[in-house]
Chain A
Amino acid sequence: MRLEARAHESFWANCAAALAAVVFTLAICAVLIVWAKANVWSAYQAIFDGAFGSRFAITETLTRATPLIFTGLAAAIAFRARLFNIGAEGQLYAGAIAAVAISMWLTNEAGELLVSKWLVFPAMLIASALAGALLLLVPAWLKLKYRVDEVVTTLLLNFIALLFVSLLLDGAMKDATAMGWPQSPALHADLEFSKLIARARLHSGLLLAIALAVALALVIQFTRFGLYVRAVGANARAARFAGIQSTRTLLLVAALSGACAGLAGVSEVAGRTGYVTLDMSPGYGYSGIVIAMLAGLHPIGVVVAAIFVGAAIVGADAMSRAVNVPTYIADVIVAVTLLSILVAAFFAKMRVVWR
């Protein structure tokens, strides 16, 4: 028996592969649910209801998906060019801190904005994007100039960034009214993202995220830069040979990817929390990588995958309250889905030859 690449990608093979991966994941997790002494059917029912069962559930799922779309895009664009950015977590915090810093800097003693909010608001978004971009440009530059592996540096920078945020929350950006709890002063109310629906946490960060996904999809598909990104990712040496400036392309990709992750930070601060804390992201940066992979590195796919992962988290949360299965099952579902999709997609591209 051996495997042979299919000449053409088969649509039905891809569908079958995705279906097989989902069934496999559900089966594995069913075993875990039985182990936790719960009824499999009611547990899955509780997950689904918790994620999509009511208006409130749907808004919670989308709220959870919003930062995941941003970090998923950050990973997708970087991985496309084979720049392995594992540092979206740190870049998210950099973006969040930059947003609050702009708000503090441009607010006077009386708590009024110094200039029109129509100027401060875009400045805040740009500052967050820049902060995230800078945090990834450093490892990208180290990779190009000194050949330092970016997987390692971006990972280590996550720890450094989080400690730096902790430093700021203890010092320059300490909220004096928070009774010693490490959190930043609140973002100015005029800078907050508007809510999309009454009596729900869903905010316009979701629209920004989807717009960004569409824009990135168009850029990758239809522009010269997009072609360069795909070429550098497919084969950097061949791309250089063809006259593509791979250094410039990689630096641009790094800036773009870091900016996406930075926007995740401002979206969380301005849309949900209102201030920066050290636990504002339960690993959104890392989940973004998983989401990008589930999406096959396609920006539109990222939106779908982020909603799936958001639903798993929100649903598992509700399920654990209802039937007492630990919430960690959400991460197991996501991990098993990732690994099985990876395998299934491979077999969709290959043909088994019995000989």
Chain B
Amino acid sequence: MSIDLSVELPGLHLKNPVMPASGCFGFGREYSRFYDLSKLGAVIMKAATKEARLGNNTPRVAETSSGMLNAIGLQNPGVHKIIEEEVPFLASYDTSIIANIAGSSIEEYELVARTFNETENVHALELNISCPNVKEGGIQFGTDLNMAAKVTERVKLASRLPVYVKLSPNVSNIVEMAKAVEAAGADGLSMINTLTGMQIHLPSKRPLLANRTGGLSGPAIKPVAIRMIYEVSQHVSIPIIGMGGIETAEDVLEFLLAGASAVAVGTANFQNPFACPDIIDALPATLATYGFDSVQDAIGKGVLSL
């Protein structure tokens, strides 16, 4: 029996539902030395801002139990360089390209979104309103209902591409947030971004990260992601790209059952550079084991009716 891994989402014809998560895969060049990126359902590029950003001081990463904290600080070469140098590289592979966009003002988000209209090779935007590691912008848009709706609306007007809004788990009611951005015109959701955390370094008796706080990712946050996707998927009709600690094909199935239509793999790439292709290879057998003959068939099947 052949298992159909394909998924159709706004702007994205995915051959399989697996894509590397933004910020964990750069612009693909490094991992292209390990495997053919055409294997991937899509690639979500590292966040783009208007100008180049140098990010935070180091240390920027700290390991935790079953996860890690990072505070990179949206380091990137700026949207123009990304379009000139990085998008053409990724476009040489047979995979969809999603651009993650960030900014410190609504105007910056609009400008970055509009700039991506210039290239034919980007298929969707992921609107990053949930980065916990920058002083201005980022998460302040993602934790305020009105701001989140406003930036979504303005980016939708500025862009010709479908917009997936990346939600922060650092809110008291994620369902309200999801509904607000859906009402503002979002074509899809991407969730969850990292949970804000901190680690104190005993020898120095100080926060280990130079930024003090960082975003927690990895298997530690998977149950939080599953719970949030499960709740949100019942209250919105737009598709969800799920992420948070995915390491195996079984994890992917769990996300699909909770209501995600596709998934992104982040931290797992660091331990296993082949994480994405390994998961893609294992997915058909995993789906079959649990009685599904397609990815589509599994989406939302774990959600008990209200």
A and B together in one complex: no
Q: What is A's interface to B at a CB cutoff of 8 Å? A: none
